[in-house]
């Protein structure tokens, strides 16, 4: 191996390691700062190790945001389940029962998904108020279910389109109807796709901020993303609490990502239409 | 054919009205609630937003009387709007180029049979798993001008180089692009890596036999073949630039609105100052900006899929 090959090889690793550091530094600093008590927090000591392991900031942050954490759980789980299930049914219709104009409908679904959320916020608040759901957890769940329809339908459509039509036709000949085929052919094949879409929706809903802030701004009812914002707008910024809160809020999605990274990756590729 | 019909009749409850026994109609019926929900909550709402932008609704009480272009004139004359437009350009340039260049570079490196690929890939994409709110919170702390990253820079011996980061009255927006790119460049890396892996090995081998070096290989083979991925990355990062809201909401709008965005301006006008008409005009403007970005992309993707 010639020396410039060696150099090229080590440059590659040097660049990769430098970027790994770039991506990890914010997590590192969050952990470091979260482990310090308030009196040890100074921006000049941001890089210093904590003097001792002190979980006080985490405990304090948790005490202030545990309601918000459970709110997020209460919002994310039904939101993800309903939107995933709807997506499965819709994707089945789009892929196997396409009718005249159904391609256009799918196109309009996906188009809406790429447009900025600000475009629908004012009517959303107005309609939720009208329905008595404004400021309520159920209102936000409903919004997430509806705004999840495009992405979940698209993900399932792309998967079901790859299921051979012959399978569906064969069970039609066997006398299965719309729901029979869904139950006997489509659902048994959908396990992995349910997992991909479920993981994707859980992560997106858990991390969503704009709609949560507008619909559930009330600190007691807000989900974690809004709670972090509330920590950061206190008069004197308690950096230790803020970092602890941001970490606590990230634990579920990071855990899901680390454990189910493959599913996460598939959702990412399919959802951006480049899988 | 006859047995098919009788079997099907048995599998469906005979109680259903005749028109519901047709599977095609059931399919449309199953889809109908979603169509209605999307039609109302996305498309009718957008039209409604457009209408609010030409209404007199600029206080808490609902007022949908027609105001003509009053809100639009106010918007066009608002200095904050001008700053936000400039900020959008700054952000889009910084954010899109970082995401695409870094994403491509990392994917190209990871495609070189690297040891520890899974580790690197996992780390690069990890910020995407957390909320943008978390990114804003952590980076705000890192970019405190008196300390944070500047301490590291000083320790490296560049004591006179002390950027103000997001506090910079002119270029604060560029500091914010780092927070955005930290989250999204890994996503772009994943797109490019999948694209590179989909290129058949024979192509690479053929090019190498023809005497192409690494740079020629990328210039003449890989980059042209990855054009659809680049298109995707441009559209996604472009849409992200237009919708940018989380970070200014966390770190504030900076001195002289240096880190303000259209999305945050819309939010403040609407939900803090109850200027619904003006907020709706900003929202409509954001929609109009997004359409020429997204539409050609979707059309080209659909055309490809049909082939």
- As a whole-number percent, the residues of chain B with pLDDT over 70 amount to 93
B68: in domain: no
What is the reported pLDDT for A1?
Answer: 55
**End-to-end Cα distance, chain B:** 33
- Domain of B83 in residue numbering reads as 73-305
Are both B91 and B143 inside the same structural domain? Answer: yes
Mean pLDDT confidence for B216-237: 92
What is the reported pLDDT for B2?
Answer: 47
Cα atoms in the 13 Å half-sphere on the side-chain side of A51: 6
Q: Residue B293: which of B244, B245, B239 has the closest Cα?
A: B239
Distance from CA of B159 to the nearest CA of A (A): 14
B266: in domain: yes
What is the reported pLDDT for A172?
Answer: 86
Contact status, residue B186 vs residue B212, Cβ threshold 8 Å = no
B61: in domain: no
Q: Residue B34: which of A204, A216, A110 has the closest Cα?
A: A110
Are both B40 and B150 inside the same structural domain? Answer: no
Cβ-Cβ contacts under 8 Å, B131 against chain A: 206-209, 224-225, 228, 249-250, 253
Q: Residue B137: which of A76, A4, A26, A2 has the closest Cα?
A: A26
The closest CB to that of B191, out of A23, A253, A272, belongs to: A272
Are both B48 and B130 inside the same structural domain? Answer: no
pLDDT digits (tens, 9 = 90+) for A80-102: 999 999 999 999 999 999 999 99
Which residue from B minimizes the CA distance to A202?
Answer: B129
What is the reported pLDDT for B20?
Answer: 67
Which residue from B minimizes the CA distance to A207?
Answer: B131
Contact status, residue A216 vs residue A140, Cβ threshold 8 Å = yes
Phi, psi of B166, deg, nearest 5: -70, -5
Are both B12 and B120 inside the same structural domain? Answer: no
Mean pLDDT confidence for B249-274: 94
What is the reported pLDDT for B18?
Answer: 67
B43 pLDDT above the threshold of 80: yes
Cα atoms in the 13 Å half-sphere on the side-chain side of B126: 24
What is the reported pLDDT for A237?
Answer: 77
What is the reported pLDDT for A49?
Answer: 87
Tens of pLDDT, residue by residue, chain A (275 residues) = 577 888 888 899 999 999 999 999 999 999 999 998 888 887 778 888 888 888 989 999 999 999 999 999 999 999 999 999 999 999 999 999 999 999 999 999 999 999 999 999 999 999 999 999 999 999 999 999 999 999 999 999 999 999 999 999 888 888 888 999 999 999 999 999 999 999 999 999 999 999 999 999 888 999 999 999 988 776 677 889 999 999 999 999 999 999 998 888 888 888 887 65
Are both B217 and B125 inside the same structural domain? Answer: yes
pLDDT digits (tens, 9 = 90+) for B146-179: 888 888 888 888 888 888 899 899 899 999 999 9
> What value of ipTM does the predicted structure carry?
0.92
Total domain count for chain B?
Answer: 2
Cβ-Cβ contacts under 8 Å, B195 against chain A: 274
CA distances from B81 to A119, A212, B72, B85, B272 (A): 17, 25, 11, 6, 17
Q: How far apart are CA B302 and CA A273, in angstroms?
A: 9
The tokens describing B61, both together, are 């009480």
Torsion (CA) A189, A192, A197, A201 in degrees, nearest 10:
140
Sign of CA dihedral B291, B297, B298, B303: positive
- Cα B247 to the center of its chain, rounded Å: 14
Cβ-Cβ contacts under 8 Å, B239 against chain A: 114-116
Contact status, residue A123 vs residue A85, Cβ threshold 8 Å = no
The closest CB to that of B147, out of A46, A117, A265, belongs to: A46
pLDDT digits (tens, 9 = 90+) for B6-21: 445 445 555 666 666 7
Contact status, residue A202 vs residue A80, Cβ threshold 8 Å = yes
Are both B198 and B127 inside the same structural domain? Answer: yes
Contact status, residue B220 vs residue B107, Cβ threshold 8 Å = no
Which residue from A minimizes the CA distance to B145?
Answer: A43
Are both B124 and B33 inside the same structural domain? Answer: no
Which residue from B minimizes the CA distance to A44?
Answer: B147
Q: How far apart are CA B159 and CA B161, in angstroms?
A: 6
Contact status, residue B259 vs residue B247, Cβ threshold 8 Å = yes
Q: Residue B106: which of B26, B157, B181 has the closest Cα?
A: B181
Residue B66's DSSP bridge partners are: B55
Q: How far apart are CA A118 and CA B279, in angstroms?
A: 9
Residue with tokens 């989900």: A223
Q: Residue A229: which of A46, B182, A241 has the closest Cα?
A: A241
Cα atoms in the 13 Å half-sphere on the side-chain side of B122: 14
Distance from CA of A53 to the nearest CA of B (A): 20
- Report the CATH number at residue B157: 1.10.3720.10
Are both B169 and B28 inside the same structural domain? Answer: no
Domains annotated for chain A, with CATH where assigned, are 1-53 (no CATH), 55-273 (1.10.3720.10)
Min mean pLDDT across A80-84, A269-273, B40-44, B273-277 is at A269-273
Tell me the residue length of chain A: 275
B201: in domain: yes
Phi, psi of B66, deg, nearest 5: -70, 135
B78: in domain: yes
B275 pLDDT above the threshold of 60: yes
B3 pLDDT above the threshold of 50: no
What is the reported pLDDT for B192?
Answer: 96
B64: in domain: no
B62: in domain: no
- Cα A237 to the center of its chain, rounded Å: 27
B109 with A175: Cβ contact below 8 A: no
The closest CB to that of A228, out of B45, B134, B148, belongs to: B134
Sign of CA dihedral B169, B284, A145, A125: positive
Are both B20 and B100 inside the same structural domain? Answer: no
Contact status, residue A24 vs residue B122, Cβ threshold 8 Å = no
Cβ-Cβ contacts under 8 Å, B128 against chain A: 268
Are both B116 and B32 inside the same structural domain? Answer: no
Secondary structure letter of residue A238 according to DSSP: -
The closest CB to that of B287, out of A119, A125, A176, belongs to: A119
Best of A109, A116, A156 to disrupt the B interface (most B CBs within 10 Å) is A116
Are both B33 and B119 inside the same structural domain? Answer: no
Phi, psi of A223, deg, nearest 5: -80, 175
Are both B163 and B220 inside the same structural domain? Answer: yes
Mean pLDDT confidence for B203-207: 86
- Cα B251 to the center of its chain, rounded Å: 20
B190 with A269: Cβ contact below 8 A: yes
């Amino acid at each position: 191996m010639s020396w410039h090959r060696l150099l090229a090889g080590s440059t590659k690793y040097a660049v990769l390691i430098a970027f790994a550091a770039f991506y990890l530094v914010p997590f590192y600093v969050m952990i470091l700062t979260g482990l310090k008590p308030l009196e040890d927090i100074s921006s000049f000591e941001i890089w210093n190790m904590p003097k001792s392991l002190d979980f006080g900031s985490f405990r304090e942050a948790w005490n202030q945001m545990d309601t918000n954490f459970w709110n997020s759980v209460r919002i994310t789980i039904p939101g993800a389940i309903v939107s995933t299930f709807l997506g499965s049914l819709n994707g089945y219709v789009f892929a196997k029962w396409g009718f005249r104009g159904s391609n256009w409908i799918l196109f309009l679904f996906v188009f809406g998904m790429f447009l900025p959320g600000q475009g629908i916020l004012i009517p959303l608040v107005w309609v939720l108020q009208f329905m008595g759901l404004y400021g309520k957890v159920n209102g936000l769940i409903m919004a997430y279910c509806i705004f999840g329809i495009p992405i979940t339908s698209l993900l399932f459509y792309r998967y079901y389109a790859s299921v051979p039509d012959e399978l569906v036709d064969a069970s039609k000949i066997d006398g299965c109807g719309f729901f029979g085929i869904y139950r006997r052919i489509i659902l048994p094949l959908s396990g992995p796709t349910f997992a991909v879409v479920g993981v994707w929706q859980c992560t997106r809903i858990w991390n969503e901020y704009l709609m949560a802030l507008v619909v559930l701004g009330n600190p007691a009812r807000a989900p974690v993303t809004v709670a972090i914002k509330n920590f950061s707008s206190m008069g004197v910024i308690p950096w230790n609490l803020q970092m602890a809160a941001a970490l606590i809020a990230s634990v579920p999605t990071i855990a899901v990502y680390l454990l189910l990274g493959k599913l996460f990756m598939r959702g990412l590729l399919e959802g951006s239409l480049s899988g | 054919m006859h047995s098919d019909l009788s079997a099907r009749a048995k599998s469906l409850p005979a109680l259903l009205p005749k028109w519901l026994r047709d599977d095609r109609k059931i399919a449309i019926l199953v889809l109908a609630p979603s169509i209605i929900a999307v039609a109302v909550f996305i498309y009718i709402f957008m039209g409604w937003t457009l209408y609010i932008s030409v209404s007199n609704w600029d206080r808490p009480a609902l007022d949908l009387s027609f105001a003509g272009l009053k809100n639009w004139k106010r918007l066009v004359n608002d200095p904050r709007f001008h700053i936000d437009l400039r900020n959008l350009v700054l952000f889009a340039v910084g954010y899109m180029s970082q995401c695409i260049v870094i994403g491509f570079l990392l994917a190209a490196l990871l495609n070189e049979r690297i040891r520890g690929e899974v580790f690197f890939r996992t780390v690069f994409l990890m910020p995407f798993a957390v909320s943008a709110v978390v990114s804003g919170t952590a980076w705000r702390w890192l970019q405190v001008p008196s300390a944070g990253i500047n301490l590291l820079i000083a320790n490296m011996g560049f004591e006179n180089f002390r950027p103000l980061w997001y506090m910079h009255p002119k270029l604060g927006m560029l500091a914010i692009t780092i927070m955005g790119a930290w989250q999204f460049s890994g996503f772009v890396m994943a797109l490019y890596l999948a694209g590179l892996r989909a290129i058949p090995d024979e192509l690479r081998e053929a090019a190498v036999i023809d005497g192409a070096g690494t740079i020629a290989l990328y210039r003449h083979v890989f980059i042209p073949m990855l054009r659809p991925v680049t298109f995707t990355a441009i559209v996604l990062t472009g849409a992200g630039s237009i919708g940018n809201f989380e970070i200014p909401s966390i770190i504030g709008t900076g001195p002289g609105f240096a880190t303000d965005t259209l999305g945050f301006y819309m939010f403040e006008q609407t939900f803090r100052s109850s200027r619904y008409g003006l907020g709706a005009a900003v929202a409509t403007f954001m929609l109009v900006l997004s359409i020429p970005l997204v539409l050609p992309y979707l059309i080209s993707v659909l055309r490809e899929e049909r082939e």
